[in-house]
Amino acid sequence: MSKNDKNKKHSGSSEFIKIIDLAVHEGADSITIEYDDGLEVCNWICNTCIADVFVDRDFEKELIGYIIEAAKLENKPKGSIVVELHGIKHTINIEEYNHFGESAFKLTFKKEN
């Protein structure tokens, strides 16, 4: 693995943590990640979506690549990633689905005690 590959992998994981941290801070119970006019990240709070759209293709590739690799989604539609935020472990259950011919992801949270 080259130094650039390691930096990309690190960048994808750090961006993932930032997205999860913001969603947890906002009180979201799930996130959807879909392609529309860019990568749409939607934090779902009581059936209300708070969305950001990212149009940086490198960011999209790094984030999606990290999710697929870390949740082991290469050959299956469901997986999970455990992250620690502010001393609390969260299990992020991830489901990949088809959204208008593109891969999309639903992430749901489970806080560990």
* Full domain range(s) for residue 103: 3-111
Q: Give the pLDDT band (50/70/90) at residue 111.
A: low
Token look-up 């455990």 returns 82
* 25-71 pLDDT per residue, tens: 899 999 999 987 788 999 999 889 998 888 888 888 899 999 999 99
- Please list, residue by residue across 17-30, b when 16 or more beta carbons sit within 10 angstroms of its beta carbon and e when fewer do: eebbeebbeeebeb
> What pLDDT band is residue 110 in, cutting at 50, 70 and 90?
confident
d(CA 111, CA 68): 21
Q: How many domains does the chain have?
A: 1
Task: Specify the CATH number for the domain of residue 7.
Answer: 3.30.450.90
User: What is the value of pTM for the model shown?
Assistant: 0.82
Average pLDDT in the 66-94 region?
94
